[in-house]
Each structure stands twice: as C-alpha cells, then as structure tokens.
Chains A and B, each alone.
Chain A
C-alpha cells in the first residue's frame, strides 16, 4: 500500500517528507460512517474491475431525508460506489462486488434479489442528461408504465404532473408534453431525468455529477431542487464541486483511490477536516 502512496506523492510532486509520512497514516475511515436513521447501510464493500480493485472496504450509511455527498479526485471510485447502490454495476462485464449493502435491512446483493425492482426503489440520475428520444410525457410515463403503478390514464397524468412539478419543470413544459424530451435545454433535460426518476416513487435517488454538464443557473435550480427532494427521499450525490457538496449535503464522504477517507457532517468536513488527505483536497493542494 505504501508504494501507491509514494507514487501519488511523486505525481503530485510538491509533498514534503513530513506530508509523505502523513500520507502513510491509516487509510481507515475517519469519522462516523453510521447515521441515526439509516435507509441504506453499506459495510466493507469491495469492488473489483477484473483484477483491479476500485473500491476498498467502504462502509457508509445513507440516512432518511438526508443528502450525502461524495467527493474526491477523479478516478477515486465515487461513481463505482454509487453504481453499487442500485446494482448498475451488474451491467459491466468483469465487475465484482463483495461486502454487504442493505436497503431497509434487505441485502441488495442477495442471490435471490431481483435488481429490476431494486432499481425502481433506488433511482439514478446520470452525469449527462439522457432523456429517451420520445416525448416529454412518454419519458416520465415510462417508469410508471412498466411497473404498472397506475390504473388509468387520469392517474398516470396525475403522476406525471406531480413528478414534473417536483422536478420544477411543470410550468416550463406543461404546454408541450408531446414534444420530444431531447429538444429541451440541458438543464431542463436533467430535470426531466429527475422527474422520470421520481415518477416511480423511489426511496433513494442516486445522482452522479448531475450538474457537471450544466451552466451555473441550471445548476442552481437543480441544487435547490435537491434540497426540496430531501423532504421525501434519501439522496446520494457525487459531485466534483466542493461548493456544491457544501451547499446541498448534510453529510460528506471523501474518497481517495478507492478508500473512503473521511465521513462527517458537511460543515465539519469542510471547516475542520480530520484527515490530512481530506484537508489537502479541500484546500486545493491535491485533486
């Protein structure tokens, strides 16, 4: 393990020998990984792509009605970890997950568990807005339709209006629900994707850098939206923007090369990081 740290030090270049020594300090997670009211509980999660390990023994809780942000230098495994939470990694050849991840006490990697209904419970919003090449209405209607959540057209219309309203998009699109979803602006598309996700009433929403392709105004709207969604959902968000993490999340987890280095109240992590690597990252010395 020390060789990787040495390599890191050489790559970042500007580390003193004292810092190098500091880099050798424990990679065990600093801070409390648990929370009072957990919805998802992850313990000792390892993820391998073939023979390379992308996530090393990560334990983390995601609480009810909270936003957990995951930050860290790119390639540290944030997306990988997030995709474990709804078994999206199943689609990648050679990806192997060990450890336990529980949703409301149920192990989601249990042999008998079907990932299809799981993904209805744990929805996902992706980095690049990816609406279906169908109408706005069809985009939101797709989830409820395949899961048979509604019994009538009127009910479905209601769900769609509600979802678009929660996603803050209703007023902008209510007159053109039959227009293609791909014709919206980037920010609107991302909110459409959020509406599509919440249309199936998930319990947890995973967001992988949802604003990285958006301009600041669209970003601000989505951030506001995340804060509102917290009332009903648990949210785990990966972001490369520390300001965004600070603005939207209650707890923050800092990842580094596949290790979960530090977890804590967002305020504490940003103002008073306990681990040297976290401090280096948020003060801009690394990352």
Chain B
C-alpha cells in the first residue's frame, strides 16, 4: 500500500490521504444539504404565506348574512284571482311582500328615504327566493312565516367587520340609521351568518351576495374534460409515433424543434390563434368550453408530447427486443409493453399540462371567456367562463364583498389543483407497480 520514494521522503499511506480529504468531503456534503434544506424551507414559507393570506381573506366568503323576518304571503298581492295559477304566482310582486314585512318590523320608519334604506338592507335576490318558495309550495299563500332573507352585501360586510362601525358616518357605506336597525335585529337574534350555499350553486352576478362560482366551476370542468379528451390521445399518439415509428431525418428533427418551441410560446398567442382559426374560420361558438378546450389543447400538447417522449425513452430497449424477439409486431410491442411502462411518466406530464390548463387565463380572454355569463353551462357548447377568468373578473370588481369572493374562488381553484395532483400521485402508484 505504501509507495517508497527514491528521495527518502516518508512514505505516505493512501488511507491517511483519504482521511485528510474525508473531512472536507463531508463538510461539502453538509453544506449542500443545508442549502437544499434552506431552499425547501424558503419555498414552503412562501407557499404558506400565500395560503395564509388567501385563507384569511377568503374564509368569510363561505358564510353569508341572513335577516329573519315574519313574511306574510298576502293572497291579495300574490294571487288576487285565487286561482293559484303558477304563472300568476311567478309574476307576482314579491318585492312588495318584503317591503310590508320590513315596514311591520320597523313601524317608526315612515319617510320615503327611510323606507328606501330599509329595503336596501335586503338583497335584490330575496324576492326571487320567496317566489321559488311559493312556487314550490302554493299553500304558503295567505299565511305568515318566519323567513331568513338574504341580506345586501353592504350589511354582510358590516356583519363581517369589513365595514368599521366606529368610523364617522360620512366615511362609511352604511349609514348610522341602518346600523341602528342592524343592532336592533342583532339584539332580537334576527340577523345571522349562515353557510353560503349560493356561492357554490349559482353563476356569477353583479350583486356580490348573489354571485357564485358554480358557473365557472362547471365551465372549468367541461373545458378540462374536453382538453384531456383531445390532448391526451393526440399527445401520446404523437409521442409514440415520433419516438418509436418515425424515421429519424431532417423532417422529424424540424418537428421536434418546433414542438419544443411551441412549449415556450406565450399562451396569449394561442388565444389569438384560437380566435383567428377556430372562431373566425371554423365558426366554433365563442365563450364555450369547446373553443376553450381546443385552445388549451394546443397549449398543453407540447407539454404532453415532451413528457411522453421522455417517458418512452426511459423504457429499457431490452423490453422492446424481448417483445419483437417472440414475434410481436411493432404496434403490439408498443401497446403491450412499452406504453404500460411509460404510462406513469405520461400521466405525470398530462396532469402537469392539465393543471396548467386549469389555471390558464390569458388565451381564454381572447376567445370570449371574459363575457359576463350568469347561467351555469349545461354542455360543451353553452357559453361559460372558467375559474381563473372568474377570479380575474372578481378581482377587478370594485365592491368590497368581491374581495373575499376572489380569495374564496382562488381557494376552490387551489383545492382542485391539489386534488388533481393527488389523483396524479395515486394514478402513478397504480401504474407504477414495479415487478
């Protein structure tokens, strides 16, 4: 082990040299680990801060203020003829019933201004709520019931503390008079925050208290499903063909370069392309999940193709040889052996692409998804918006109540992303049964 030198220097044993350097090597390793750990902690901190901020701002959107009033379903107002005809009931003046209920609750208010202020405590959506109640149960006509009526968004903000009662009246959206009424209702236990089902079951609205994300959610769902149906088979097929069947020549090189380029093209360009091609040339209806999915498919295809090709590349060639060696055709080789082994990688790429598509906003603005659409979409060709665009729209709205809705919508979007990624992990596990 020792090498003797001619000049008589003491022989140096290898193990001493190794030991001397070992310390340095370990120190370097520790440093590297520390840097990595710091990076992870830093990243997690920022994610944590983001989540904390969003949740702090948005959690109040999941409850909504309601005011309980004894409502008299006056037969004279609702159904003067007494026929209980649904059409008559549907067209009746429910606003008047609410006005009467408020008047009997606050009998001292008589002036025009006061009455108007009283009425504005209740959401403009409350009459249609009463109408739905009556239509569902016509026997209500002629009776008096305690009904929880949806409060206006200003009242809601006041109840949630987003409007400060201690500010001077001139700097506050809710006047002293109204605050007094609210305090009176609070004392009677007639005002209360209840779970906000409206947020999850309706489309958007100009009135914050009536605005929900169901429309955007369904829009995103339809869009994503269609995007997946379009881009996964095409992406995997293209990857398979390019990787396994296509001759390697200048053309395939060109295609490869272009696919990589496409992955880096700003997404808004895809939106312009969709507008010019799908809408202008092919006449696909704008603002629909169909056109959105077409555009998003263009955008996610490069991601899926690149990930799928990498997954195919990582399948050991010995498996292909084994299959070909017993006489499997090239397609059988791919379908029976290569594809199943490449599937986890392909799925990961696809989910990443889908997550991208779910969060994409810019190209969708180009193809009309920014339109104000109240209805919940019922299919792939009904006009809709999608979650990120909804967030964009709400973030742009001046009402204070839309701030919490924006954050709540972000929470829903994030929840979906987490669910999708969880699904990806589970799918991977299933497919990755390593033998």
Residues on A close to B: CB < 8 A? 86, 88, 91, 93, 116-120, 123-126, 128, 130-134, 142-143, 146-147, 180-183, 193, 196-197, 199-200
Contact = CB atoms under 8 A, between A and B. Distances in A.
Nearest to A93: B248
A123 B327 CA distance: 8
A142 B325 contact: no
Given A119-B325, A123-B325, A142-B323, 17 more contacts: A88-B325, A91-B320, A91-B321, A120-B327, A124-B325, A126-B318, A126-B321, A130-B321, A132-B322, A132-B337, A133-B434, A142-B326, A146-B326, A147-B327, A183-B435, A196-B322, A200-B326
Contacts of A183: 435
Interface of B: 247-248, 316, 318-329, 332, 336-337, 341, 434-435
28 contacts: A86-B325, A88-B321, A88-B324, A91-B320, A117-B327, A119-B325, A119-B327, A120-B326, A123-B325, A125-B325, A126-B318, A126-B322, A128-B318, A130-B318, A130-B319, A130-B322, A132-B322, A133-B319, A133-B434, A133-B435, A142-B336, A146-B326, A146-B327, A146-B328, A146-B332, A146-B336, A196-B326, A197-B325
Contacts of A88: 321, 324-325
Given A132-B337, A133-B435, A143 B326 contact: yes
Contacts of B248: 93
A142 B336 CA distance: 10
The 10 closest A-B pairs by CB, nearest first: A180-B435, A120-B327, A130-B318, A143-B326, A133-B435, A124-B325, A119-B327, A130-B322, A182-B435, A116-B329
Contacts of B434: 133
Contact of B322 (A86, A116, A131, A200): A131
Given A93-B248, A133-B434, A146-B332, A119 B326 contact: yes
Contacts of B247: 93
A266 to B, nearest CB: 26
Contacts of A180: 435
Nearest to A128: B318
Nearest to A121: B327
A128 to B, nearest CB: 6
Contacts of A120: 326-327
B329 to A, nearest CB: 5
B25 to A, nearest CB: 34
Main secondary structure of the interface of B (DSSP, over half): helix
Contacts of A133: 319, 341, 434-435
Contacts of B316: 130
A142 B318 CA distance: 16
Nearest to A124: B325
A274 B7 CA distance: 55
B325 A116 contact: no
Contacts of B321: 88, 91, 124, 126, 130
Contact of A132 (B319, B324, B332): B319
A233 to B, nearest CB: 15
Contacts of A116: 327-329
B200 to A, nearest CB: 44
Contacts of A143: 326-327
A117 to B, nearest CB: 6
A86 B327 CA distance: 10
A130 B329 CA distance: 18
Contacts of A124: 321, 325
A197 B321 CA distance: 12
Contacts of B325: 86, 88, 119, 123-126, 197
B256 to A, nearest CB: 15
A91 B325 CA distance: 11
Given A146-B332, A181-B435, A200 B318 contact: no
Contacts of B320: 91
Contacts of A146: 326-328, 332, 336
A120 B336 CA distance: 17
Contacts of B337: 132
Given A133-B341, A146-B332, A200 B327 contact: yes
A107 to B, nearest CB: 19
A216 to B, nearest CB: 23
Residue among A123, A124, A147 facing the most chain B CB atoms (10 A cut-off) = A124
A147 B322 CA distance: 15
A119 B327 CA distance: 5
A106 B341 CA distance: 36
Contacts of A197: 325-326
A69 to B, nearest CB: 20
B245 to A, nearest CB: 11
Contacts of A86: 325
A213 to B, nearest CB: 11
A171 to B, nearest CB: 22
A119 to B, nearest CB: 4
B290 to A, nearest CB: 40
B435 A134 contact: yes
A89 to B, nearest CB: 11
Contacts of A117: 327
Residue among B248, B323, B324 facing the most chain A CB atoms (10 A cut-off) = B324
A146 B316 CA distance: 21
Contacts of B318: 126, 128, 130
